[in-house]
Structure 1
Amino acid sequence: MSLTSTSLLILAACVTIGAPVATYLLWNRARGPRPVRAASRLGLIGLCQATMLLLVGLLINNHYDLYASWSDLLGDDGGGPVALHQATRTATDLNQSGTPATDPNANPNPNPNANRQPQLGFGGGGQSAHGTAPNPAGTVNPANVPKPVFVPGGHDTQVAAFRGPLSGIGGNGGDVAVWLPPQYNQPAYANTRFPVIMLFPGYPGSPAGWFSVLDGGGVLQQMLAKQQATPFVLVAVNVNQNGQNLNCSNIPGGPQMATYIAEDVRTMIEANFHVSDKRTGWGLMGFSDGGLCAGKLLVQYPQYFRSAAQMAGDSTPDGRQVVRAGTDFVDQNSTLWLLTHRHPGPDQPVSLLAAVSDQDTDSLPVAFQLQAAAPDIVSVSEHAHGAHNPAVWRSWLPEMYTWLSQHLDSAQPAG
């Protein structure tokens, strides 16, 4: 009898109804000394409560697809992916400038600033700290970014309250959590600009979940010890400000969450840590609603981000404020719509990995719809086992870090 079967649900309902009936019939039939009778009656009450909890648990599990099978409930995810459906253009097809390496007639640098972030000007005539790209209007000058106070957080992170100067969002505490790889403080890497992965939780969720429940830093540290990934700086962002599911979108007349992530937080991290100032050194990753954030922000901001990985992510936002803004606005913040209508150009190529399980029936079709819309951008990692829960996503992290290591700049000792 499977965990999500109707027969198990019916059986649980029958037992839940039968337990109080049995308690009524057996209450006065308890035999033995008074302590034994009391223990028997308490056991009957406990049975009623246990059967009710079982029924409620099954109903919740079936509604949210948290666990798809008994093995899933017991933590057996079935191992690695069953199949990796690669995008038609892989990382090896692109050179460092983002130009298809197999095209002998391609301009080797069609846009000299394509891999630079245009808002890096520190003043002084609009000169960039790492180049000559001007600081355009409406973007953040890192010299003007408030320096938040980072304090030690759990799981080797440092956390800060950060209010974005452009978006006006944040400042409530725990807005940003940063995890630094061991190499960050080693002398050999003192002049290295580390690649960054921005991390997004689902809804409801907080940045801390990335390092507690999913152990995002611990998993990466184990891989670094085995030289299985590049040293990333991990930056988890609170995308559910004030308990609102904004789907990482700029709400008309409301919170500007996309700006907060792509402009405010990213620039603040660059101003406070020695990290990459190139789009090819910035990636995104999220699970569930956070997976939607990773995918759509990649396509909305290809000038800032090179690659993203989404685990069991959706393609269409459903947050209350997003839906209220109308169908057109929902479309413009849908990864599927964006890949179809706002396909990034060849001067700013992007790559998206959609990880799904055959047992997660809500997320499974989404991944293949995304790949059908943009086969040159989207790869699909298909797993046989695992439903919509953190234990499954944690087991996928080594694969996600490996893939992002292949699609983002690596961190090397710099002289």
Structure 2
Amino acid sequence: MGLTSRSLLYAVAAVAVVCVGLTLWLWPRFAGRGPGAMLGRLGSVVATQLSVVAALGLAVNANFQFYGSWHELLGLYDDAPGAVGTWGDGGTAGPAGDPSKGLVQASGPEGLDTVHGLPKGPPAMAGKVETVRIVGKRTKAVNPAYVYLPPQYFQPQYARRRFPVIVALSGYPGGTFLLGQHLRVPQTAARLIRDGRMQPTVIVMTRPTIAPPRDTQCVDVPGGPQAETFFARDVPDALRSHYRVGHDPGAWGVLGYSSGGSCALQLAMRHDRTYTSAAALSPDYRVTNDPTTGNLFGDGKDRIRRRQEHDLMWRLRHLPLPRVNVLVGTSHSGEKNYPAAKEFLAAVRPPMKAEAIVLDHGSHNFATWRRELPAALQWMSRSLTFPEDVVGNL
């Protein structure tokens, strides 16, 4: 049984119930002072606690999809060690894919079958959500993704039209499942498009790390995972090769929450010829090393420069600003990032433009981000241009 399967969860929960029942039933028999009674009490306590903790752990993982498989839980990945390694032929850091088999490849459910509230019905009426694996042409990195295709994508009058696209990034250590189940990106977009408050848009939902369990922070690590190249170059190339999405940067935006929001700002400000809009909910404004990231900037002479260039406040003060639009979500109280958001927004100057969603109160959680998401998607829709190019034209 799969790690996230309901069958496994129900089986372990049943074992936990049985263990609790047996403990209550057998406890009087273990009331003596001899070694057998003591071992019986110890064994019943250990078995009961382990079964209850396992059931709770499986329930939490099934709900939040921290680990999608036994391989991920154990740190085992195809053709790769689990975390930090050398990128290239000598060893990879994360799953490696074969671009010759296609840059967008169909995949298994990836938890989509347990996401509630997805659009139902004929695709031309309700739209569709697909599960795919995106393979990097340059990096050979592989990332699972959900792809929301709006109803118009399947309607005859749009058959030769290309669509704007939003790349939506989860936080760390979350993944695509959280974007669907807890942030409710496809459900919210479908409702906004149906109500005419958002233009038809293709939305690609994925995680910001390409080498789990390492947090790659959308950085090209010297000798390590090339996460920035993957999201700035490989992902757009892959999507353009498979879906009817715009070729012009004006049709491309990136959205994220928490570390995914940090990546969104980094990608737009560092790659304005790929993404011209970024919406960041509760982001950080600089990339730093921590136990989950390892050494992101290397040990060479240019490590200080690399670290500075991933500090968005440093970029605002010392480098020419890109012609991009950014949106920041924060809260007056309940979130620690309000002072940093205020400083960032005050430092933005033309040609860059910045706006904000500022709640009176909100915490670093999905309840806050769900409140901000509709406004963020509508803002993104106004910022992106519907492509004028049609299929067959480059």
TM-score above 0.5:
yes
Decide whether aligned partners of structure 1 residues 148 and 414 sit closer, same or farther in structure 2, where only a CA change above 3 A counts: closer
C-alpha deviation, 1:332, in angstroms: 1.4
Q: What do the CA deviations read for 1:342-388 (whole angstroms, capped 9, x no partner)?
A: 3345xxx2011111111244211121221222133222221102110
Aligned to 1:159: 131
- CA distance in structure 1 between the partners assigned to 2:315 and 2:200 by the alignment: 31
Q: In terms of Rg, which structure is larger? A: 1
Deviates more, 1:267-276 or 1:375-384: 375-384
CA contact (8 A) 1:237 1:261 kept: no
Q: Is 2:156 aligned against 1:169?
A: no
- CA distance in structure 1 between the partners assigned to 2:187 and 2:154 by the alignment: 17
- CA distance in structure 2 between the partners assigned to 1:158 and 1:147 by the alignment: 15
C-alpha deviation, 1:402, in angstroms: 1.1
1:359 aligned to which of 330, 333, 336: 333
2:306 aligned to which of 299, 305, 329: 329
Q: Is 2:217 aligned against 1:243?
A: no
- CA distance in structure 2 between the partners assigned to 1:387 and 1:256 by the alignment: 32
Q: Quick one: which amino acid aligns to residue 310 of structure 2?
A: N
Decide whether aligned partners of structure 1 residues 411 and 278 sit closer, same or farther in structure 2, where only a CA change above 3 A counts: closer
C-alpha deviation, 1:175, in angstroms: 2.0
- CA distance in structure 2 between the partners assigned to 1:144 and 1:401 by the alignment: 34
Aligned to 1:386: 362
Q: What do the CA deviations read for 1:50-93 (whole angstroms, capped 9, x no partner)?
A: xxxxxxxxxxxxxxxxxxxxxxxxxxxxxxxxxxxxxxxxxxxx
- CA distance in structure 2 between the partners assigned to 1:305 and 1:217 by the alignment: 20
CA contact (8 A) 1:370 1:378 kept: no
C-alpha deviation, 1:407, in angstroms: 0.8
C-alpha deviation, 1:324, in angstroms: 5.8
* CA RMSD, Structure 1 to Structure 2 (Å): 2.6
2:343 aligned to which of 353, 369, 377: 369
Q: Quick one: which amino acid aligns to residue 399 of structure 1?
A: A
Aligned to 1:194: 163
Q: Secondary structure, in 3 states, of the residue corresponding to 2:253?
A: strand
For structure 2, the residue ranges without an aligned partner over 5 or more in a row are 1-48, 50-98, 113-117, 119-127
2:187 aligned to which of 205, 218, 236: 218
- CA distance in structure 2 between the partners assigned to 1:308 and 1:413 by the alignment: 22
Q: Is 2:341 aligned against 1:341?
A: no
C-alpha deviation, 1:145, in angstroms: 8.2
C-alpha deviation, 1:411, in angstroms: 6.5
Q: Is 2:258 aligned against 1:288?
A: yes
Aligned to 1:89: none
C-alpha deviation, 1:338, in angstroms: 2.5
CA contact (8 A) 1:302 1:344 kept: no
C-alpha deviation, 1:413, in angstroms: 11
Q: Normalising to structure 1: TM-score of the pair?
A: 0.60
- CA distance in structure 2 between the partners assigned to 1:219 and 1:329 by the alignment: 37
C-alpha deviation, 1:244, in angstroms: 1.1
Larger RCO of the pair (alpha carbons < 8 Å, separation 6+): 1
- CA distance in structure 2 between the partners assigned to 1:309 and 1:283 by the alignment: 8
C-alpha deviation, 1:184, in angstroms: 0.9
Aligned identity (percent) is 26
CA contact (8 A) 2:167 2:203 kept: yes
Q: How does 1:29-44 map to 2 (within 5 A)?
A: none
Aligned to 2:105: 149
Decide whether aligned partners of structure 1 residues 175 and 334 sit closer, same or farther in structure 2, where only a CA change above 3 A counts: farther
- CA distance in structure 1 between the partners assigned to 2:336 and 2:225 by the alignment: 28
Provide the aligned length of Structure 1 versus Structure 2: 270
- CA distance in structure 1 between the partners assigned to 2:294 and 2:305 by the alignment: 15
Aligned to 2:121: none
CA contact (8 A) 1:189 1:412 kept: no
CA contact (8 A) 1:352 1:379 kept: yes
Q: Is 2:227 aligned against 1:257?
A: yes
Decide whether aligned partners of structure 1 residues 413 and 165 sit closer, same or farther in structure 2, where only a CA change above 3 A counts: closer
